[in-house]
């Protein structure tokens, strides 16, 4: 077989000698490579299949890394990684210690920023271009600020795609680019989608022309007359006028919108034609000021399953999961069985919110361009008038939900945990300050794995606890999602319901109810393990391991961190040692909050150990592996609890009877235990 072109590309310089026919062949080879590689490791497939020719053209026209290429969102940079010498690393894409699924400064000088969250590139570009101009002396018309002679021109190019231009931050940057006349080339990679068909898509949302009374009156007169034409001619003519008005919207409105901001607009052009792209890029790069080049691409191009996926075009392809080995027969039967794939937390939420909406017409759903991943597609289908997708605009989503709540609705804002950081101010002041009953549902909470440090959902509990009066629900298994959502919607106050995306275990115990905690394992009351969220199961395993060392721990699933169950706080205040475990930040999280309540109740601080995620940036890897490394699995929690118990003089003597075996109950029996019976 002849050598493949893709194997000859080790840097962008290798692209320069290729003919246009070679570029077309290279594009086909890259698509084949991406499909094969991402099918094995998982990753963002659809967006990269659509950006192949565009990325080839960018690297043929510009000189990276001297010219600065910024990709927004960063998950569309796989082709960029291939063309900058990282093809072989795709075997370890999104694996521990392997290639990042986003631009990574430590991987390559061609990756300038680690922009894994959307709508940031234009702000980066503005700052970089301003610094380049200042250092080159272009702003002052003389030598650079450091006294150096002006250097040869460097281009700043921001590739904005997958709905990133629906984010408010992008519009703030556009406004500043136009006002300052900063030279930045914005390549608008318009595939009409983000994770799903884009809400507030540029070509569909810029309404200056459509709101012009003269245009509206003319359009309606023409439609009325054409509808009245007899026979097929009327139908054809009517469809034609509709096509014409759509074309006007697509071509004229972007021009009007961008140039009103002081940003020149050109396009749209075919984003799968390398020759046309190169010509357009060179012309746009010569413009002295900010300019938008509008490029039309097809997400998932070249791969039939992606092109036929109407919802997400195989946006994020999941890697095949290796089944967890069954517990060997000689293992102690007291250890809970390994995880079994069953209903996911997201699936449970889908059912729960449908039930809530059927029971109460005030329930509405709000999301920020994530209806599919957060489980709201069924809600949209059943209650379209009560479904709101605001695009990549988390700040707006939160404040709009506050407005809905203040007018009597019961909004549920479904969002990834990591994206909550983008709207903490709105959560605090627009929701919390007004005590607006908005229920925030944080999917992908805790350690999420292969998307790396930007996507771990470890901040949501800390953030929620800083919002006065915000209830915090942490369902530990899918069966707990419905009762937690029901209880949250019943409150006349803000609430957070957070859960992970990891494969769900089988049922642990009967679901709880209301705002009450669940007693999972009954011990002698001296040591209490508090398992928050998914770590409740790990605490059950830890307690059963502790029995071997003569420590008979009580295990509690709080379910609701705030307002905490009074009987839970009573149990903690009477214990000699309290160990809490959570898959969120330890500092300022649920464990430290519950321990502080117990201290206030007892008038003393009980010996305590708060286990959780440290304040650091965690690399990509399998969630269970990361939790194990952090000591947040059953054996890790047991080991930490044993050391803490020894320091407190617990469990060092003979093995004592414990309540589950029927001995030693007496007055130490907690209200939770009595309630369980």
Among 53, 394, 522, 567, the active-site one is 394
The number of angstroms, rounded, from the C-alpha of 330 to the middle of its chain's C-alpha atoms is: 41
Contact 78, 315 (CB under 8 A): no
**Beta-sheet strands, E only, within 426-542:** 439-443, 471-473, 495-498, 518-521, 527-531
Measure CA 73 to chain center: 12
Number of H helices, E strands in the chain: 23, 17
> Where is 215: in which H helix or E strand?
helix 213-227
* 562 three-state secondary structure: strand
CA atoms within 13 A on the CB side of 176: 14
Tracing tokens 């937690």 back to the chain, one arrives at 484
Residue 172, judged by CB atoms within 10 A of its CB (0-12, 13-18, 19+), counts as middle
Three-state helix/strand/coil letters over 70-110:
EEECHHHCHHHHHHHHHHHHHHHCCCCCCCCCCCCCCCCCC
Residue among 150, 160, 245 at smallest CA distance from 201: 160
- DSSP string of 103-145, one letter each residue: --TTT-TT------STT-HHHHHHHHHHHHHHHHTTTTTSS-T
Q: How far is C-alpha 670 from the geometric centre of its chain's CA atoms?
A: 40
Q: How many residues does the chain have?
A: 677
Q: Is 282 a catalytic residue?
A: no
User: In three state form, how does the secondary structure of 218-268 look?
Assistant: HHHHHHHHHHCCCHHHHHHHHHHHHHHHHHHHHHHHHHHHHHHCCCEEEEE
Judge whether 108 and 84 are in contact, CB under 8 Å. Answer: yes
60, 87, 299, 537: which is the annotated catalytic residue? Answer: 299
Write out the two tokens for 207: 């309404």
* Angle, CA of 223, 227 and 233, to the nearest 5°: 115
Q: Which two tokens stand for residue 112?
A: 């300038």
Non-local (6+) Cβ contacts of 300 within 8 A are: 45, 46, 49, 50, 306, 307, 309, 313, 314
Q: Mapping DSSP to helix (H, G, I), strand (E, B) and coil, where does residue 23 land?
A: helix
Measured between alpha carbons, how far is 289 from 181 in angstroms, rounded to an integer? Answer: 5
Burial, 537: exposed, middle or buried (Cβ in 10 Å; 0-12, 13-18, 19+)?
Answer: buried
- Catalytic residue flag (residue 422): yes
Are 83 and 38 in contact by the 8 Å Cβ rule? The answer is no
Please tell me what DSSP assigns to residue 446: B
Nearest to 596 by CA among 453, 465, 445: 465
Q: Which of 422, 444, 498, 537 is catalytic?
A: 422
Of the candidates 125, 268, 300, 111, the residue with the CA atom closest to the CA atom of residue 201: 268
Phi, psi of 294 (to 5 degrees): -90, 115
Cα-only R_g, the chain: 29
Q: Which of 349, 420, 372, 353 is nearest to 584 (CA)?
A: 420
All residues at 6 or more sequence positions from 30 whose CB lies less than 8 Å from its CB, including other chains = 6, 52, 56, 79, 82
Q: Give the active site residues.
A: 299, 394, 422
């Amino acid at each position: 077989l002849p050598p493949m072109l893709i194997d000859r590309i080790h840097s962008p310089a290798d692209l320069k000698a290729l003919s246009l026919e070679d570029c077309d062949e290279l594009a086909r080879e890259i698509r084949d490579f991406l499909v094969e590689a991402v099918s094995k490791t998982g990753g963002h497939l659809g967006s990269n299949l659509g950006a192949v020719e565009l990325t080839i053209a960018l690297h043929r026209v510009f000189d990276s890394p001297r010219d600065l290429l910024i990709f927004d969102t960063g998950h569309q940079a796989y082709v960029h990684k291939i063309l900058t010498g990282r093809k072989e690393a795709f075997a370890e894409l999104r694996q521990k210690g392997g290639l990042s699924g986003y631009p990574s400064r430590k991987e390559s000088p061609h990756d300038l920023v680690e922009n894994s969250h959307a709508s940031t590139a234009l702000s980066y570009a503005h700052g970089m271009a301003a610094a380049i101009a200042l250092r080159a002396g272009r702003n002052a018309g003389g030598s650079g600020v450091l006294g150096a002679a002006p250097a040869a021109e460097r281009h700043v190019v921001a590739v904005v795609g997958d709905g990133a231009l629906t984010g408010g931050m992008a519009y703030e940057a556009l406004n500043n680019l136009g006002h300052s006349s900063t030279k930045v080339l914005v390549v608008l990679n318009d595939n009409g989608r983000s994770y799903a068909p884009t809400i507030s898509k540029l070509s569909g949302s810029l309404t200056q022309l459509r709101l012009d009374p003269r245009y509206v009156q003319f359009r309606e007169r023409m439609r009325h007359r054409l509808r009245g034409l007899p026979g097929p001619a009327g139908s054809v003519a009517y469809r034609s006028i509709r096509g014409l008005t759509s074309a006007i919207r697509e071509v004229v409105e972007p021009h009007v919108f961008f140039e009103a901001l002081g940003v020149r607009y050109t396009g749209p052009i075919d984003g799968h034609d390398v020759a046309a792209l190169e010509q357009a890029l060179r012309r746009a790069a010569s413009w002295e000021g900010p300019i938008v080049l509008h490029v039309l691409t097809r997400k998932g191009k070249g791969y039939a399953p992606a092109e036929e996926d109407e919802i997400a075009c195989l946006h994020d392809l999941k890697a095949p999961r290796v089944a967890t080995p069954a517990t060997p027969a000689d293992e102690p039967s007291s250890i809970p069985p390994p995880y079994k794939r069953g209903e996911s937390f997201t699936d449970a939420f889908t059912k729960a919110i449908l039930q809530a909406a059927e029971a109460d017409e005030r329930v509405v759903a709000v999301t920020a361009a994530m209806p599919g991943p957060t489980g709201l597609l069924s809600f949209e289908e059943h209650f379209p008038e009560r479904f709101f997708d605001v695009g990549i605009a988390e700040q707006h989503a939160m404040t709009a939900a506050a407005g809905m709540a203040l007018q009597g609705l019961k909004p549920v804002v479904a969002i990834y945990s990591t994206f909550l950081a983008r709207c903490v101010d709105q959560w605090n002041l627009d929701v919390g300050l007004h005590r607006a009953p908005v229920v925030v549902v944080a999917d992908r909470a805790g350690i999420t794995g292969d998307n790396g440090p930007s996507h771990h959902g470890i901040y949501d509990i800390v953030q929620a606890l800083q919002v006065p009066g915000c209830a915090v629900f942490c369902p530990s298994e899918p069966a707990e999602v419905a009762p937690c959502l029901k209880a949250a919607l019943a409150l006349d106050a803000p609430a957070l319901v957070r859960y992970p995306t990891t494969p769900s275990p089988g049922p642990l115990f009967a679901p709880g109810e209301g705002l009450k905690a669940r007693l999972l394992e009954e011990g002698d009351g001296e040591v209490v393990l508090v398992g928050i969220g998914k770590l409740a199961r790990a605490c059950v395993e830890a307690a059963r391991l502790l029995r071997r060392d003569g420590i008979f721990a009580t295990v509690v699933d709080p379910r609701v961190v705030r307002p905490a169950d009074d009987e839970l706080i009573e149990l903690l205040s009477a214990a000699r040692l309290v160990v809490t475990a959570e898959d969120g930040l330890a500092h300022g999280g649920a464990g430290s909050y519950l321990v502080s309540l117990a201290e206030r109740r007892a008038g003393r601080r009980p010996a305590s150990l708060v286990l959780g995620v440290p304040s650091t940036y965690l690399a990509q890897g399998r969630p269970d592996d990361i939790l194990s490394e952090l000591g947040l699995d059953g054996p890790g929690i047991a080991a930490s609890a044993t050391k803490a118990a020894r320091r407190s003089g617990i469990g060092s003597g003979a093995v004592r009877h414990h309540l589950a075996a029927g001995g030693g109950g007496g007055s130490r029996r907690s209200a939770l235990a009595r309630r369980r019976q």
